[in-house]
Amino acid sequence: MVLLLLLRQVSSSTAASLAGTATSRPAFVTARTTDGVAFPRRPLPFFSAIRQEVSYGSGDDGVDGDVGSESALNDMNSEAVDGILPRPRRSKNRFRQHVNPLARKYQAPTPLADDWYRNVFEHSPAGSGAPLIVDIGCAKGNFALEMAGSEREGVEWGGGPSYNHLGLEIRENCVEFAMERARRMDSKNVHYLQCNANVDLERILRSANVSLSGKEGGGVALTHVHIQFPDPHFKKAHAKRKVVTAELVQTIALFMAEGSSVFLQSDIQDVLDDMRSLFRATPWFNDISTDPLEYLGFNPTGVPTEREISVLKKGLKVYRTVMIRNKVEAASI
């Protein structure tokens, strides 16, 4: 009886596999031309890669691009492995993988002083008024630190820090860990906040004096937003817990000027497709690909997250895209 059940399961999985091959597989873009798209005056290094010629691959080849190769992955992270990024002592607290963002304690606004932003970036080598990069769901903050580290080296950035980096994370112990690491590295242009982005993003950006979309003035420019490997929340009952919502997309659009970008990636295709569809459904963002089944086959930032490193080392796929802010104005929610 047990053998019969196993045979039935194998037959079902085989049929599903054959059915999957009959449908069109997603294509992965290893590079993309973006002629005519207005980028920031001093774009991040990855934009030079996006501006190259377009080449396509099936879902079975080229998906991980340059970052996916073992040698490239090792080169990219050799500095961190060699101790350039000093790690604080292991915390006694475990980092929970998932939390319920709808819980009452995560619905309260994050306490912020009136001049918090100027104070935290007062000694930033880029200056408190420098363009801002926001990492939503930054986990333990390694990505922002490595981005800032690449910028300090000035190899591809034209020399010297030009941006401030703000990581947002809902788990308090992750933020404490990230802040301790930033202090040990003396990274004055990196800061982290414990918050629920779906509750507090607009208030945080307003209090940081971030310029509204299309408005000229002396405010801070939000040039890049990264949303990487968010909690998938597979259960239908947990759909309301997703990080990217229509309201979050509208808030991001409200504060981004034309030519700014949102980088999305996940190792789960449905998660990326869901985020992508929410951005594509608005009049404020243009996908770098006209085909929703095309994905970037490389990480355009050049800096992999800890989750990304783990996924790629297992030989799994990562689905990515970049949304470019257009000139259509967005209203406050």
Report, as residue numbers or ranges, the catalytic residues: 231
Strands 222-228 and 285-287: unpaired
DSSP 294-312: EEESS-TTS---HHHHHHH
CB 258 within 8 A of CB 330: no
Q: Which residues does 296 contact at the CB level (< 8 Å), separation at least 6?
A: 28, 29, 30, 32, 65, 265, 288, 320, 321, 322
- Residue pointed to by tokens 């045979």: 7
Burial class (CB in 10 A: 0-12, 13-18, 19+), 175: buried
Q: Which residues does 126 contact at the CB level (< 8 Å), separation at least 6?
A: 160, 161, 162, 163, 164, 189
Enumerate the H helices of the chain as residue ranges: 2-22, 46-50, 65-68, 70-81, 116-120, 142-153, 172-185, 197-207, 246-255, 269-280, 306-313
End-to-end CA distance of the chain: 59
Q: Quote the distance between the C-alpha of residue 203 and its chain's center.
A: 20
Strands 132-136 and 164-169: parallel
CB 129 within 8 A of CB 123: no
